[in-house]
Structure 1
Amino acid sequence: MTLTASFAVSMLVLIVLGFTALLASDVLKAESSGWRDYTERAAQTEELRVRLKERHAEIFADPASPIAGNPEGDVTLVQFFDYNCSYCRAAAPIVRQAKDADAGLKLVYKEFPILGSGSRFAAQAALASRKQDKYEEFHSALMGHSGAINESSTLDIAERVGLDVHQLQRDIQDPVVMAAVERNLALGLDLRITGTPSFFVGDEIVRGLVDLQAMQGFIAEARRQVGE
């Protein structure tokens, strides 16, 4: 082997060794980063479970939160939602189908207006409609609206479903109604809810839109845990 060829081979070996060392370093960094992400997620999950226990009654049994389905159901599904959230609108028929198909399911509505003043007005209006025994009908109509939800559209929808709009406007300003919305917002903040829809079923949180099969799977798992 000539001197030039020997030098070339040596350089190739050094390059390969250097690349191997660099690759190993990258792998170690990736593993370290992955482990760190895993431990952070595990810590966040454990923290959420603690908060769920601490605020269980506020989540699942607040009398200011409307309910549907079976009030004595063995499984409770809690939904945090905003009327201007397109994913919440898409989730509404899925939640309704899950409720209608399950005689043992209790549904709890958590008004969670995070998308502006129109959402807050609609949330207060929805809670105020309970005084006229129209919550579920009004809620469904708000969720079925295709445009922006604001004060004007909310009152139009209220009139369409047969609410006394003048009474509703008075009841919207009821401090009890306003306080209920504020409690929901504070509760969601404490539970690290940053988007809608968000669901609680059993001891689990489900973030975002899921299909009916997945929703029923979460409910079935919660029921299994209740039976243990």
Structure 2
Amino acid sequence: MMLEVVQGLCESNNFDVHDFDSGIDGVRSKIAVPYKYGEGNQEYYVLLQSDDVSDEFLKSLAIDGSEELMGRLELLDFTDESFRKNSTLILCCSSVSVSDSVLLQFEENPYFFKKNVITYSGEELSSLKGKLNGDFNNERLNSLLAESGGDLFELFKTMGFQKGHYYPLLIRLITKLPFVHYLPQSNNLENLDEFVREELMESDLKMLDYILSEEYSIEDKISSDWERL
């Protein structure tokens, strides 16, 4: 279940996750509460999942449903006066159940909650859960993001994945969950220099060696050239 993955990510990022009754038929619901005495994000995350989401459901949830949901949540013991202004609704649903236009309208609706929708297919979810294997740390997500030396990200940009691959769902999670952060990978400068040299012609290599042999930095050289323009 997608909700279990999102819960795992919340708990690994210092949130307490509680069940609550949303009052919405067919919707499983949880709330991720920030640690009261910890540092970091003080946002609340309302986590919903439904296997029967439609355009009509989203239109209803955007305003009337969200107002009722907000009222229920404000009565809970683990929300306080900051909840109304610091809460994000995360809805998990099938990727084929709603139209893109209505989904966008829902996410851009400014009332009661900030709103994000995580769409997925059963095949994507099964594949991602197998990759995570119960490890929901940011480091694990980032290692999957950079898997195969960045080749998977290039495939993602060109839409080259077969149906059901976990990587597009991974990107959606990192994009839709604000507390999940991308951790930049450190560059291996020796490998970078080797890569650059392999791609240059002999005349360009001589120019590169000339630039690197100068007593002043390339930044100084660029600055000097710019001043002469």
**Highest Rg: 1 or 2?**
1
TM-score category (smaller protein):
under 0.3
Greater strand fraction, Structure 1 or Structure 2:
2
Greater helix fraction, Structure 1 or Structure 2:
1
The two structures have a TM-score, normalised by structure 2, of 0.24
Larger RCO of the pair (alpha carbons < 8 Å, separation 6+): 1
The two structures have a TM-score, normalised by structure 1, of 0.24
